[in-house]
Structure 1
C-alpha cells in the first residue's frame, strides 16, 4: 500500500464504543435481487461476498420494514420472524472479513410499489399527482394519508425491524430518511401538509423521524446492546418552494445528535455539492454538517461520485467527513480495497465494461440490467469508445 492511503485505514471508535477498522464504507446499493418473499438469493449473497473485503462499514441495500412500505422489486424484507434467517445470512457474509454490517431500514411511503401492497401508497398527506423524487427518478403518485394508528404502526415497524437486525447478527442499523422515502416525506413541507401534531411547523415535521429514532434506541436498550450502531441517512435539500433547506437539515442534525445517534449519512450525488438554499449557500453541504457536529461525538459519512481510490482519498483528506462511502466504485471494482492494499489503485475502473456481462462484474442480473438502464446513452457511447481503445472484449 502506498503511504498516502494509510489515513483511510485508521480505525474509528463511535460514541458508543464500537470500532470500525477503517474509514471506508460501502454505500447502500439497491440490487433488486431478493426473491419474491424478500429473502436472500444465491446471486445476492455472491454479490455481497465479492465486495466484503477490506471495508470498515458495509451498509446493506434498503430493507423494507413492512409490506406496505416495499419500494422496489427484489427488496430485502425485515418485518416478519421468517425474515430473520435471510437477514442472518446477509449479515454473516457482510461482516465475514471484519466490516461492521449495517442494515438500512426503509419505508417507501408515497414511493412504495402499489402493485405489491394492494394498490395503496401511504404518505403523510393525501397527495394527488404529487411528484416524488427518489434518487433522481420522478414519480407521479396518489396516496392515502396515514392515520394516527398508521403512524404508530410505522414506528412499531421500524422498531421491530431493528430487533430482527440485532437477532440476525447485524452490528447496527441505518434509518433511511433520504431519497424521497417516508421519513423524508414527513420531514418535508412539500409532502407533509398535515395540520395535526405530525405536521405544520418544522418541529412537528421532525416528529416522526425523531419518534422512530427513539423507538429503535429503546429496542437497543431493551436488548442490552449498547454497542449496536444507530445511524440516520438524510437528503439535505429539495428543490421547490416548500422543499427542504439546509437550515431544516441542520436543525434535524442537531436533534439527532442530541439523541446520541452514532452517525449521520448525507445522501449526495456529488461529495462536494454545495448548499443552494438556506444556511451556507455556496458552501459544501458536508462541510456545513461537519461544522455543526464539531465536538459532539457523532460521525459523518459522505458519499457521492467517489469512483476510484484516489477520489476516495481526496474526499477523506478534505476533512468534511469521518467516513467516505463508495457506491459505483465498488460495483465496478469488487476488489476496490484490494487494489489499494496491493498498490494497484490505478487499475480501478470508473465505468462498467459494457462488453462484459453481470457475471463478469460479479453482479446479480437484475442489478446489472438496472445499471444499464440508468447509464445515459451518451455515457454508454463514451464507454464504448473507451472500451475499444482499451481493448475490452
Structure 2
C-alpha cells in the first residue's frame, strides 16, 4: 500500500527529508551525571535511525541552571560537543536527519537536581504539579539575558556537533512556556505583562538561535519550536493564547512548529463544549505559513496518514518508536504484519532501551506503553494530558 507519509519533504531552507515520519523527543534519562553522552544513548538512537526521515533527539540543557532531571543531556559547554557528535552520527544513519531539542527547565526542577541551588523561573511562583514543587527564584534581568545568549551558544554547539537543527522546547511547562504563562509569569518589567509582552522571551530566544545559525551554519540547519496548547491552572494558558502564540511563530524565523500532545485528536482540556481537535485549530491558524509536525498516540500506518490528512506536514511518533525501531523499514517492505505494537518487558534490553529508561517506562508510562504483561485497559490521551506534559496523570 502507498502511504503519504512515505513521500519526501523539503523545508524552505532546502533541507530534504526522505519521508515524513519523525521520531519525537524521547527522554532516555541515561546521560552521565554531568550531562555527557553515554553509549546507551548512542545505541538507543542508532537502533532507530536509518528508516525515519527525521529524529528529534531528547532535550539538552543550555545552561547549568536549566537542568530539569537526572540523566539529562547537556549542551551547555563546548566540552559537550565531542559526545554530541557521536550521538548525531548515530542518528544520521542511512540519510536520517537529526535535530537536538534544547531547553531550560526553569521551575520544573529542584535543589537536589541543581546540587543545592534554588530553581529559577520568570517569577517566584511554584508549579501546581507535582504538589511538592519548590518555589523558584525570579530571574534577574541580567540572568534572563544570559539564558538568551546560552540558547544561541547551544545552537552553535549543535551545528559543530553535526546535527541538522535544533528544536526550542517551549512545551511541557518548561521555562519558555513559563514566561508565556500568566500563571508563572507575574513580572512587571519588559518580560511580563499582557499576552504580547509575555511572548518577548520566546522571541528573544528564537532570535538568538537564528543569529547563531546565520553566523555558524555551513549547511541547511533547521530551527523548530515546540509548544503545549493549554494549561489547566487558573490563570493559565488557554487555546486562544496559544493560537495567538502560533500566529507569532508563523512570522518568525523558525522553520517548523511542533505541537506537544498525548493525542493528535485531543480537544480542549478546559472547554468541554469545544469538540474541534486542537491540531485542526493550529493548522488553520498557521495557514501554511510554517510546516507543522503532528504527534500523539500515532501507532499504525493508518494513524500516521490520518494525522497528515488533518493538514500537518509531518507526523511524529514517540512511544511507538520505542516499541518498534524498524517501523518505517517494515512499512517500506510491505511487512506491516510484523510491526510491534506491544512491548514485552523481557525484550527491552534487546531493543537497546537503556536501563534508566526501562524503569521510567514501567512507572509513569506503564499504562500507555502496551506492555504485554499489563492486564488493564490502555489509557487514551484524547481527552487528557500525558505525563510528560507537566500535569498530574489524572485531571
Asked whether the two chains share a fold, i.e. TM above 0.5, the reply is yes
| 1:314 positional shift | 2.6
| 1:229 positional shift | 0.4
Judging changes above 3 Å, is the alpha-carbon distance between structure 1 residues 232 and 375 closer, same or farther for their aligned structure 2 residues?
closer
Q: How far does the alpha carbon of each residue in 1:175-204 deviate from its partner, in whole angstroms, 9 at most, with x for none?
A: 000001000000100111111111120011
Partner of 2:149: 156
Q: How far does the alpha carbon of each residue in 1:255-299 deviate from its partner, in whole angstroms, 9 at most, with x for none?
A: 111113110000001011113558x93211111111112242x11
Check conservation: 2:10, 2:17, Cα contact below 8 A.
yes
Check conservation: 2:128, 2:233, Cα contact below 8 A.
no
Partner of 2:296: 304
Partner of 1:294: 287
Q: Secondary structure at the match of 2:226?
A: strand
Could you tell me how far apart the structure 1 residues matched to 2:226 and 2:150 are? 18
Could you tell me how far apart the structure 2 residues matched to 1:146 and 1:300 are? 32
Partner of 1:33: 30
Partner of 1:331: 322
Partner of 1:351: 342
Could you tell me how far apart the structure 1 residues matched to 2:280 and 2:370 are? 33
State yes or no: 1:241 paired with 2:231: no
Could you tell me how far apart the structure 1 residues matched to 2:283 and 2:375 are? 40
| 1:377 positional shift | 6.5
State yes or no: 1:140 paired with 2:138: no
| 1:379 positional shift | 8.1
Judging changes above 3 Å, is the alpha-carbon distance between structure 1 residues 225 and 291 closer, same or farther for their aligned structure 2 residues?
farther
Check conservation: 1:38, 1:74, Cα contact below 8 A.
yes
**Partner residue of 2:51 out of 49, 54, 71:** 54
Could you tell me how far apart the structure 2 residues matched to 1:252 and 1:335 are? 36
Partner of 1:274: 267
State yes or no: 1:341 paired with 2:310: no
Root mean square deviation of aligned Cα: 2.2
Could you tell me how far apart the structure 2 residues matched to 1:40 and 1:18 are? 26
Could you tell me how far apart the structure 2 residues matched to 1:358 and 1:302 are? 27
Could you tell me how far apart the structure 1 residues matched to 2:263 and 2:183 are? 23
Q: Secondary structure at the match of 1:140?
A: coil
Partner of 1:105: 102
Check conservation: 2:264, 2:296, Cα contact below 8 A.
yes
Normalising by structure 1, what TM-score?
0.90
Judging changes above 3 Å, is the alpha-carbon distance between structure 1 residues 378 and 366 closer, same or farther for their aligned structure 2 residues?
closer
| 1:308 positional shift | 2.8
Check conservation: 1:16, 1:226, Cα contact below 8 A.
no
Could you tell me how far apart the structure 1 residues matched to 2:100 and 2:202 are? 17
| 1:342 positional shift | 1.7
Question: Within 5 Å, which residues of 2 pair with 1:172-321?
Answer: 172-225=165-218, 227-276=220-269, 281-296=274-289, 298-316=290-308, 318-321=309-312
Q: Secondary structure at the match of 1:101?
A: strand
Partner of 1:10: 7
Structure 2 unpaired stretches of 5+? 377-395
Normalising by structure 2, what TM-score?
0.90
Judging changes above 3 Å, is the alpha-carbon distance between structure 1 residues 380 and 95 closer, same or farther for their aligned structure 2 residues?
closer
Structure 1 unpaired stretches of 5+? 387-393
Could you tell me how far apart the structure 1 residues matched to 2:311 and 2:132 are? 32
Could you tell me how far apart the structure 2 residues matched to 1:327 and 1:220 are? 27
Judging changes above 3 Å, is the alpha-carbon distance between structure 1 residues 378 and 311 closer, same or farther for their aligned structure 2 residues?
closer
Judging changes above 3 Å, is the alpha-carbon distance between structure 1 residues 333 and 107 closer, same or farther for their aligned structure 2 residues?
same
Check conservation: 1:70, 1:113, Cα contact below 8 A.
no
Check conservation: 1:308, 1:349, Cα contact below 8 A.
no
